Structure 1
Amino acid sequence: MTSLAAPAPWDAVWGQDEAVRVLRNAAEDPAALTHAWLIVGPPGSGRSTLARAFAAALIAEPGDTAAQNQVLAGTHPDLTALRTEQVVIRIDEARRLVERAYFAPSIGRYRVIVVEDADRMTERTSNVLLKALEEPPEHTIWVLCAPSDADLLPTIRSRVRVLRLREPEVDDVAALIVQRTGVDAATAEQSARHAQRHIGMAQRLATDADARARRDATLSAVLRVRGIGDAVEVAGEIVRVATEDAKALTAERDREEREALLRMLGVAEGAAVPPAVRSQVSALEDDQKRRATRSLRDGIDRVLTDLQALYRDVIVLQFGRDGDLINREYAEALRALAADWSPQRTLIVLDRIAETRANLEQNVAPLLALESLLITVAIGLVP
């Protein structure tokens, strides 16, 4: 864990002592500060939390906890943070970031631009940032976050300092979940293991029995796939459940955003939307649709991550390492599958899962992608 001596704003950062040391030093010593940073680490490793803590240390004067808390809450005028809820970061969003980068700090020591989903930039969008990263204005610091530096263009990577985060151990994540939520140790350990040490996902699994049940139902269904009919049926069920989850996550927020916009525009509750403001309402609805698409694809990607873990366990068993299973609860079924399949077939399925995840990022229809994947699972098609 972070050293007890580390003051705010670093208190919220967990399990990244070396990264905290590097960034604290950079915030305190201008000679160690680089104009652009890329924080990389696996999902759940705390990239965004660390980026915000770094921004707080840069913007606020040492010891100014009020300003630090403002930055951490995302309300400080010298912080600009982008966390897209859509499939990709749009080029107009990138242009707005660049515009903000050329503003002088208003009340803080630096202006900080945080891009939490830098891996979701297309090549065209990335090129918008290049000049700002190459010739940054004085007192502006860029902090990009991504799972891997390979997710960004070489031209971007050459203009940033890369800081790699460590991946926490299952026991460490479980202990943190117990501390944060008060769940029992067994549930916390299982959730940390199933989430593959992703802290946010582990916390959700530990505190949401329905989420644990959905995961169990999905993996059990996939393990029962034996033919094309099964594959089509299970693929449809996965998409249906993911769609319902996405709607549940976004419906209430969509309604509140629409009501707030109409109030701001002076439209009475229940009244028809005047023609003069329809374009603004339509723009909001378009953003909400893109967010719903992202939420659905993220939900399906979580399922695919679980399937990768499942078949990773199979290949582990096929190579004689039965003490290192992520899905210990399925040990009997996994051993049967490991005996029935060849390692080549398991590796083919793992490759297809990776291809399916990549295809979904390219807007392939989720149902067709999952049907194709599960047909491979069912009958062992070789690409």
Structure 2
Amino acid sequence: MSARVAVLGAGSWGTTFGKILADGGSDVVMWARRPELAREITEARRNSRYLPGINLPRSMRATPDLAAALDGADQVFVSVPSSSARDTLKSARKALSGSEVPVVSLMKGVEKRSGLRMSEVIREALACDPARIAVASGPNLALEIAREQPTAAVVSSVNGDTAAAIARTASTRYFRTFVNSDVAGTEFGGVLKNLIAVAIGIVDGVGYGENTKASIITRGLVEMTDFAVAYGAQPETMQGLAGLGDLIATCQSPLSRNNTAGRLLGQGYSLPDVVSHMEQTAEGLSSVAPILELAKARGVDMPIVEQVRMVLDGTMDPRDIAPHLTTDDDTPQEETQYGTGDRGGPLRRALERARDLFRDGGRGSRGD
């Protein structure tokens, strides 16, 4: 029997993921906040505002009634802005009361007030067993996937059965889903790459070239890894789909909301003008401040993100952004070190681990 799944949020990514689930054989009900959008999805099989030109499967329908969307669901996927996640989940709590269905975060942000990851917000708002919670992430630009261009993602949960069940539901001929148990790493990869993508957009808007962007992407991966490991993630996760894979896609594509927001900043638009120009939320803009607070709490240096904050605050001219050149002094640094006091940091440990695996013929434990 096909699964009955609910997707909360009918923006570009929520609708695209609903299409993935429907193409994978599920009966999909979307929750759309606006009745006219729900009607268009159900009757016209379109979401013309967020996915122009895409025909949606017949096994997808939508409703503005949250309780109706959740009624009878075997799995629930949440794709709303991080700023409204808690309120949406609180509204869904009654409908999910007593249920044991998995709840999957498709969101790539942190809660601004608390700094919590979205899986942690789900756990608090629904009083939910962590074994029921999963997160999905990867190089997932919505419009490309809606056009059925092949890609992959990773589903992460502390419960292997939950991750496997979601991966089976969210797999099609054009969308391959892997699994891991590193929830923190998978989520932080999706959050942190947005911040680096804003930096790339800024230098793109200014008119700097590929050398500048390649330097920032490479050093950005070091910042991402240092931060994520400081909060319990595995360094290998940052080298995978949720880290490096998502970073490359988000930084290089004009379809990326965060890259677009950064490019507008680099062209001289103010932050309020950028926010009003964007049709959908660029999570990187709202994640900068809470991520820097979390980094400060663990003593992690993030010069790229710090300079993005300065551009957002108007205290740095976008043309002056050069975070990959920033150091505390003129002492030469090792390439994989960013002043964490860890003799090379998490990225070096990952490379040393790979070296050891080669030396012992691959007999060591595998983290993939």
TM (normalized to structure 2)? 0.31
Q: Normalising by structure 1, report the TM-score.
A: 0.30
Question: Max radius of gyration: which structure?
Answer: 1
Structure whose residues are more often helix by fraction: 1
